[in-house]
Amino acid sequence: MTRRTVIKAAGAGTLASGFATSARGASRAAAGDTLVVVEKSSHAVSFYDVASGRRLATVGLPDYPHEMVVDSRGRFAYVGHYGVRMSSTAGEGGAAVFVIDLVGRSLARTIDTRPFRRIHGMGIDREDRLYALSEERAVLLGFDAPATDEAPSRAVPTHGVKTHLFTLSRDGERAYVTGLLSHTVSLVRPYDAAVPPLLVTPGQLPESSCLSRDEKTLFVGARKSAALVAVDARTMKVRHSRKTGGDPLRVYTLDDERLLVTDVVADTLSVWSTDLRPIRSLKLDGTPAAVSLHPAEPLAYVSLLGTDRVAVVDLERLAVVGGFGTGSEPDSSVLLPAASRGASRR
């Protein structure tokens, strides 16, 4: 096995070299960019200027919003109302999708999803059709015109238990849904509920996943098994599994050859090859909850629990190059480049 190199980040506000830094030094490409962050225990979505770390606006929401996606025009964000702090928290939870106006930086409206509750996983396809996952009912909801829909357009059962997150194919024809209590990943067809789901057990407590660029392989983080698992995205057969030695909470595709993994026990951000070899790892000064990737630059924005900060990470050097404070328990985020925001205003 390739030896893993651990790069320890210096404390907040310094680079490993010892020089002072801020989000301003992260990259010239960051000038004018905005990071939209779900702050689940502040019960809000906030907008931050990446270059300065300045909070631009905050949209208050009902208790405990969690996951978020943004449409292709950067016009609306859709936030699931989970309604409880953590997956282990008892309670009915929320039953809504919040529609955030990204230009006006306000709550545009709320889509009622009752009787489907604990809305957590969110996805959007290349046609800007929206998908939201009810953990309580183990049902994947679809919204064909989310900018105007008042209720779901469709719903398909996932055959998992305590379904938490999902990965969507670009065309929206396949969804891969993780079940925390069933320890399964289900391949479901959002537009044909008559097709039985295909299930696999990749390990214990699978939570997040991502598809390879060619959408032929699904990569799954099995948390209690401390493993990364490669699954055939069509047959749902396990191809390969590799122990990580920690708790792989979230898995992201960087390119054709690399994955990015957050570990909430070791507090690390790690790069793995797509054939599941460890490459490099970065120690963080907080627990990495979620990552937002810049669409054009090698930058990652890592939400850190406990310290209530976003760390800006240069993916080429795998080093913290900036960061800024947030509200309580920053979670999912989306980076809005300056160019895309300008286009949405025209």
pLDDT, mean of residues 251-276:
97
Q: What is the pLDDT of residues 212-244, one digit of tens each?
A: 999 999 999 999 999 999 999 999 999 999 999
In angstroms, how far is the first alpha carbon of the chain from the final one?
Answer: 52
**Confidence band (pLDDT; 50, 70, 90) for 118?**
very high
User: For residues 9 and 158, which has the higher predicted lDDT (pLDDT)?
Assistant: 158
- Residue 340 confidence (pLDDT): 52
Note the pTM of the prediction, 2 decimals.
0.89
Whether the Cβ atoms of residue 284 and residue 10 lie closer than 8 Å to each other? no
Lowest mean pLDDT, pick from 18-22, 24-28, 269-273 = 18-22
**Confidence band (pLDDT; 50, 70, 90) for 180?**
very high
Res 255 pLDDT > 70: yes
Res 332 pLDDT > 80: yes
Find all residues with CB under 8 Å of 220, minimum gap 6, and list them. Answer: 178, 185, 202, 203, 206, 208, 209, 228, 229, 231, 251
pLDDT, mean of residues 327-344:
80
- Going 324 to 207 to 216 to 197, the CA torsion angle's sign is negative
Whether the Cβ atoms of residue 329 and residue 46 lie closer than 8 Å to each other? no
Q: What is the pLDDT of residues 58-102, one digit of tens each?
A: 999 999 999 999 999 999 999 999 999 888 788 899 999 999 999
